[in-house]
Structure 1
Amino acid sequence: MRPGMPGPGAPGTKAKSFGPSLRRLAVRLAPEKVYLAIIFVLATTAVVLNTLGPQILGRATNLIFDGVIGKQLPAGLTKDQAIAGLRDQGQNRLADMLRGMDVIPGAGIDFGAVGRVLALVLTLYVVASVFTWLQGYLINEVINRTVKRLRADIEDKIHRLPLSYFDSTPRGDVLSRVTNDVDNISQSLQQTMNQLVIQVLSVIGLLSMMFWISPTLALIALVTLPAAIWVTTLIAKRSKPHFIDQWKYTGLVNAQVEEAFTGHEVISAFGRIREVGQEFDQRNEKLYQSSFRAQFISGLIMPTMTLLGNINYVLIAVVGGLKVATGSLSLGEVQAFIMYSRQFSAPLMQVGAMINLLQSGVASAERIFEILDAEEQQPDPAEEDLRPLERGRVAFEHVGFGYEPDTPIIEDLSLVAEPGHVVAIVGHTGAGKTTLVNLLERFYEIDSGAITIDGVNITDITRDRLRSRIGMVLQDTWLFGGTIRENIAYGHPNASEEEILAAAKAAYVDRFVHALPHGYDTVLDEEGSGVSAGEKQLITIARAFLAKPSILILDEATSSVDTRTELLVQHAMAELRRDRTSFVIAHRLSTIRDADLIVVMDKGRIVEQGSHRQLLAARGPYRELYNAQFAGAAVGAEAVEVQ
């Protein structure tokens, strides 16, 4: 973590509200508007066909009921004569019911007509199912392409973020956002959009048919709707903060696991396993509590909607039965209405369940949008200064920089590195040595002054061109998953086999690689398992050899190699540094005696500079560092002799 930067536990920005985040997520579907139009047509057609089904099925019920009643009436009479006869017998209610029916006295059930109606209904349902399947298939295509673009946007955004963003954000949390949160968005959209269009259209279609059959029953069915909306909104509002916490603590748990896994050896060596376990338990408990509350509260939507639906069903059944008895409606129409009312409850319950899923998906979307909205590094210049950068003359001109605006790290620093010279940068920990070379690479932007290479301001050229002229070997080595050959060639992907082998021999990688099972084809993981820390560092040095940069930065590049290997590497470095400007950050002052210029830094300022002899003769800070280092070694030697 850089000085002045907030720690991993620093709170993130406040989450956006549900509505704007949902609309922003919906905007990402805009490139699929043609497919969305086709999906809408398919969904509308499927809903219309499904909605017509109960009404047509009610005709079959009427045919059967009419046939049963007609069979019980004397043949040869007309319907009006049969009704008049029932009224003469005092059976007025039965006469009213018969008046609303299409019966032929003495005739039984017309099974042919019933069969044709059932065949029509079956055809409608089959065609509707096919359209629904096509709609679901296209929605999955649309969502997967949208999520693919979202992942690509996140990847591009990460490459545009400044290094300071990653200094202040735990890697595990970033990984959780890029993986878990994106997957959650995908799943939420797939489970909601696949039904959302159909359910909304179903509500409209069902309401239309219900009002067409009986406005009175339709109004009764709508009595519970305001209560359902109110309950759903209330529960969704209560569950939203818990969904946000759920995914926040998911990121924190992932960060904890990633940190514990990476530093497992250190944790074990210092006996901190119990403390790390306790911290994990605390975060895991918070994740459990937030997840339980989110799921429990949002889970109340379905049973509440079911209860309201059952109350609605009872009211419709009672009033519908009375209307059949009075002849206002046929039995088939009441049957169709009851089917519509039950279907009407189902979309409402589905919408309630989808709001539950959307709460989780939008909470993840907010975390993704925080990355996409993060402040980016300064863009590359629109018109690049194309002057060549071959000589490697580097000049820092009154440079000022701080990780935080009110906390300057480097103040009014001026320094010139001539082409082909070796500039060693020394100083106490936190003096600003690594910060200086990070500014040269434009990992951070300076607050004042200028840095030039061969007279060209580094802000006037693209970062890719700038960094292509700079080779860097860090104290913390990093290898990628792949073979040793591929790791060396990372500095120059188009290098020939001869160039790779030459770089390996120059960095003394060739000395140990033949002892490995598969030589240069030995596969390493990202942690470099299978080779020692010193061998990993030699591989990174070979990578720098192969890149053949104009400017070379060595940040404690030989700190992990043994003394004998260090002498060999120093000799190789002398060849590598020839005709190149080199910046060497070193704590072991014995390794930089031959530097053309030694710069002593303290609290972001250059307090002394010159050659090794000049600085020793000046009896200043460098001499104090030098004497302290070797005096410490002498004291250690005397202690060994005493023992």
Structure 2
Amino acid sequence: MSDGKSGSAFGTTWKRIIVYLGKGRRILWASLILSFMSTILTLIGPGKLTEITDKISEGLGGAMDIDGIAGLVIVLVAIYTAGLVLSVIENYMVATLSQRTAGRLREDLSSKINRIPLSYFDSTSTGDTLSRVTNDADRVGESTDEGLGTFISEITLLIGALVMMVYTNITMAMAAILPTVAGMLMMLLIMRKSQKYFQNQQRNLGDMNGLVEETYSGHTVIKAYNAEGRFGKRFVTVNEDLCRSAFASQFLSGMMMPLMSFIGNFGYVMVCIVGALLALDGQISIGVIVAFMIYVRLFTQPLSGMAQAFTSMQTAAAAGERVFEFLDLPEMVKDETEPFDSSKVKGEVEFRDVHFGYVPGKEIIHGFSLKVKPGQKVAIVGPTGAGKTTMVNLLMRFYEVNSGDILIDGRSIKDMSREEVHDCFSMVLQDTWLFAGTVRENVVYSKEGVTDEELTDACEAVGLHHYVETLPDKYDTVLDDVSSISVGQRQQITIARAIVQNAPLLILDEATSSIDTRTERKIQEAMDRMMENRTSFVIAHRLSTIRNADVILMMKDGNVIEQGSHEELMRAGGAYCELYNSQFDN
């Protein structure tokens, strides 16, 4: 990325952040006003200090005006106290705004995840997505406080101090301003050069989170295959990229603080020299020099603060660019359909000349057609990569078909909302999924109005009830990452969840793959009862479990090459017969 593009991205992203604040911009403007008022009070102070100094100087040669000096001191303390109170309120408002912004970003990112196509996750790591939702969103919020809040305060102080210096003595003001202008130009140049490194830093941080998530979630496999060295090398590579980009960004931005300190000290020297010459010439008093020393401090102090603010703002721009990039992703077409009552579905399903490919130009389902009668059991078999799971994804409308149509009870699923399509199905996948919650919550999940009797019946049907009764709090026992629950028991919970859901259509994707033979027989009986009078789609690798299917689809390379009952396909002696016999070949 070129420097020009980096600078453009910085400005564009911050414009979007300001717009994104929405109603919060009122808080921003209010904080700006408070900051301005606080700064004015701070700038009035040196003027009063000049008066105190002059009164003390006059008193050295005669009577000291104690009452006048005391009055000025009281006024000065009141001014600085009021400035402190306004600054505290302003900081509170900016902190509130920054956290509201981060919270709103996380809410919008969470909502966006539900609206983007699943194809996005086919090419993006989970860790990178998590990094955008957590690290990047938090960084934008924090930098709105650290960067924008500080920048507003410091720029107001800088302008106010400049005005007061020019008002007090323009010659000394020019002596202090010229070095500062040179420093600000150098600071802007550094910021322009370093922005691309902040962008690389956030991107590399996303890569690091993706690798860590992949490594820790597959830690057992890595250990089993002695792949620690391989993943260690990958970690070193990603870590080095992150360290390089972080070093470059922090080193360049870190140069701004000492540079501004040097410019500030140089400004002090210039004011001292010019002030001494003017005082010797009788053009100014000692009190003016004292006031100017404070003004110079007030003028140069914001430069260091602005340098720090620019660093935070650069980080926010890099993080914000990744956040808005995610928020700008194309979404699934919004459903605008007539209401559909899934509880009245009879279960007729039809595939009409369906064509589909995950990648444009690479079709994997070629003109598939099938009509399933209500209550039929359809088994889908075939080698890995044949398109079995793809058929289920299309049926559930996780992906849209390229051409053709899928109908439920004669109605195209395109004319149904995705939620309505999902309500038609109970689904049990080979990969189990539980969330941090009680056994009851995991089984019932999103189903409302489930009674204790229905819950118990479902768990008894899959052989889980006895295990649950041994838990400390039975069905109210909390399951989490450290719970000692086996893979088979996890699968039993997901099957019980499908029974409780009681949808008119059922999808089973090798649902008993992680269960022992004895438990499998019991679950198979429960699933047979569950499939009675219910249209079912079963993806199976163990062909002995689908011999009683009404229709068996033998798939290969996205095509249904054979279709029929078990007996019909065995008599045909084709690919299904060969596959079936191979599983029972002594």
TM norm structure 1: 0.87
CA positional deviation for 1:388 = 6.8
C-alpha offsets along residues 151-171 of structure 1, whole Å, 9 cap, x if unaligned?
A: 110110011122111221111
1:554 equivalent to 2:484? Answer no
**Contact 1:491–1:543 (Cα < 8 Å) also in 2:** no
One-letter amino acid matched to 1:604: G
1:149 equivalent to 2:104? Answer yes
C-alpha offsets along residues 69-105 of structure 1, whole Å, 9 cap, x if unaligned?
A: xx2xxxxxxxxxxxxxxxxxxxxxxxxxxxxxxxxxx
Q: 2:552 aligns with which of 598, 601, 610?
A: 598
Is the partner of 2:299 in helix, strand or coil? helix
**Contact 2:140–2:320 (Cα < 8 Å) also in 1:** yes
Q: In structure 2, do the counterparts of structure 1 residues 491 and 356 end up closer, same or farther at CA, with 3 Å as the change threshold?
A: closer
1:581 equivalent to 2:535? Answer yes
Is the partner of 1:17 in helix, strand or coil? helix
Q: 1:496 aligns with which of 446, 451, 459?
A: 451
Is the partner of 1:160 in helix, strand or coil? coil
Q: Which residue of 1 aligns with 2:18?
A: 26
Q: In structure 2, do the counterparts of structure 1 residues 219 and 381 end up closer, same or farther at CA, with 3 Å as the change threshold?
A: same
CA positional deviation for 1:630 = 2.0
One-letter amino acid matched to 1:123: A
Q: How does 1:141-180 map to 2 (within 5 A)?
A: 141-180=96-135
Identity of matched residues, %: 42
Quote the Cα distance in structure 2 between the aligned partners of 1:387 and 1:587.
30
CA positional deviation for 1:222 = 1.9
CA positional deviation for 1:276 = 1.5
Q: Which residue of 1 aligns with 2:381?
A: 426
Q: Which residue of 2 aligns with 1:84?
A: none
One-letter amino acid matched to 2:353: H
Q: Which residue of 2 aligns with 1:615?
A: 569
One-letter amino acid matched to 1:276: F
Is the partner of 2:329 in helix, strand or coil? coil
CA positional deviation for 1:338 = 2.2
One-letter amino acid matched to 1:301: M
Q: Which residue of 2 aligns with 1:54?
A: 46
C-alpha offsets along residues 581-639 of structure 1, whole Å, 9 cap, x if unaligned?
A: 100000111111100001111111111111111111122221121122222xx1xxxxx
1:268 equivalent to 2:268? Answer no
Quote the Cα distance in structure 1 between the aligned partners of 2:209 and 2:96.
30
One-letter amino acid matched to 1:27: V
Q: Which residue of 2 aligns with 1:390?
A: 345
Quote the Cα distance in structure 1 between the aligned partners of 2:55 and 2:516.
97
Q: 1:279 aligns with which of 213, 234, 238?
A: 234
CA positional deviation for 1:387 = 8.4
TM norm structure 2: 0.96
**Contact 1:246–1:287 (Cα < 8 Å) also in 2:** yes
C-alpha offsets along residues 440-471 of structure 1, whole Å, 9 cap, x if unaligned?
A: 11111111111111111112111112111111
Q: Which residue of 1 aligns with 2:414?
A: 459
Quote the Cα distance in structure 2 between the aligned partners of 1:382 and 1:553.
24
Q: Which residue of 2 aligns with 1:566?
A: 520
CA positional deviation for 1:178 = 1.2
1:137 equivalent to 2:92? Answer yes
Q: How does 1:64-79 map to 2 (within 5 A)?
A: 64-68=56-60, 71=61
Q: Which residue of 2 aligns with 1:92?
A: none
CA positional deviation for 1:60 = 0.8
C-alpha offsets along residues 12-34 of structure 1, whole Å, 9 cap, x if unaligned?
A: xx987111011111112221133
Q: 2:31 aligns with which of 39, 51, 55?
A: 39
**Contact 2:342–2:424 (Cα < 8 Å) also in 1:** no
CA positional deviation for 1:384 = 4.3
Q: In structure 2, do the counterparts of structure 1 residues 404 and 492 end up closer, same or farther at CA, with 3 Å as the change threshold?
A: same
CA positional deviation for 1:130 = 0.4
Q: 2:480 aligns with which of 525, 530, 533?
A: 525
Moved more, 585-594 or 250-259: 250-259
C-alpha offsets along residues 393-449 of structure 1, whole Å, 9 cap, x if unaligned?
A: 111111111111111111211111111000000111101000101111111111111
Q: Which residue of 2 aligns with 1:375?
A: 330
Q: Which portions of structure 1, spanning 4 or more consecutive aligned residues, are displaced by more than 6 angstroms? A: none
**Contact 2:461–2:522 (Cα < 8 Å) also in 1:** no
CA positional deviation for 1:494 = 2.6
CA positional deviation for 1:579 = 1.3
Q: Which residue of 1 aligns with 2:284?
A: 329
CA positional deviation for 1:212 = 0.8
**Contact 1:471–1:551 (Cα < 8 Å) also in 2:** yes
Q: In structure 2, do the counterparts of structure 1 residues 383 and 222 end up closer, same or farther at CA, with 3 Å as the change threshold?
A: farther
One-letter amino acid matched to 2:542: R
Q: How does 1:77-92 map to 2 (within 5 A)?
A: none
**Contact 1:399–1:414 (Cα < 8 Å) also in 2:** yes
Quote the Cα distance in structure 2 between the aligned partners of 1:17 and 1:42.
30
Q: 1:339 aligns with which of 268, 291, 294?
A: 294
One-letter amino acid matched to 1:159: N
Is the partner of 1:288 in helix, strand or coil? helix
Q: How does 1:239-258 map to 2 (within 5 A)?
A: 239-258=194-213
CA positional deviation for 1:48 = 0.9
Is the partner of 1:126 in helix, strand or coil? helix
Q: Which residue of 2 aligns with 1:93?
A: none
1:538 equivalent to 2:492? Answer yes
Q: How does 1:1-20 map to 2 (within 5 A)?
A: 17-20=9-12
Moved more, 584-593 or 170-179: 170-179
CA positional deviation for 1:269 = 0.9
**Contact 1:479–1:526 (Cα < 8 Å) also in 2:** no
Is the partner of 2:247 in helix, strand or coil? helix
Q: In structure 2, do the counterparts of structure 1 residues 419 and 197 end up closer, same or farther at CA, with 3 Å as the change threshold?
A: same
> Unmatched 5+ residue regions in structure 1?
1-13, 72-106, 635-643
Q: 1:226 aligns with which of 181, 184, 209?
A: 181
CA positional deviation for 1:219 = 2.0
Q: Which residue of 1 aligns with 2:153?
A: 198
One-letter amino acid matched to 1:624: E
1:108 equivalent to 2:100? Answer no
Q: 1:315 aligns with which of 260, 266, 270?
A: 270
Is the partner of 1:172 in helix, strand or coil? helix
Q: Which residue of 2 aligns with 1:299?
A: 254
Is the partner of 2:23 in helix, strand or coil? helix
Q: 1:211 aligns with which of 166, 175, 180?
A: 166
Larger Rg: 1
Aligned-residue RMSD, C-alpha: 1.8
Q: Which residue of 2 aligns with 1:7?
A: none
> Unmatched 5+ residue regions in structure 2?
none
Is the partner of 2:14 in helix, strand or coil? helix
Is the partner of 2:336 in helix, strand or coil? coil
CA positional deviation for 1:542 = 0.5
CA positional deviation for 1:523 = 2.4
Moved more, 395-404 or 184-193: 184-193
Quote the Cα distance in structure 2 between the aligned partners of 1:301 and 1:525.
47
Is the partner of 2:178 in helix, strand or coil? coil
Q: Which residue of 2 aligns with 1:352?
A: 307
Moved more, 380-389 or 471-480: 380-389
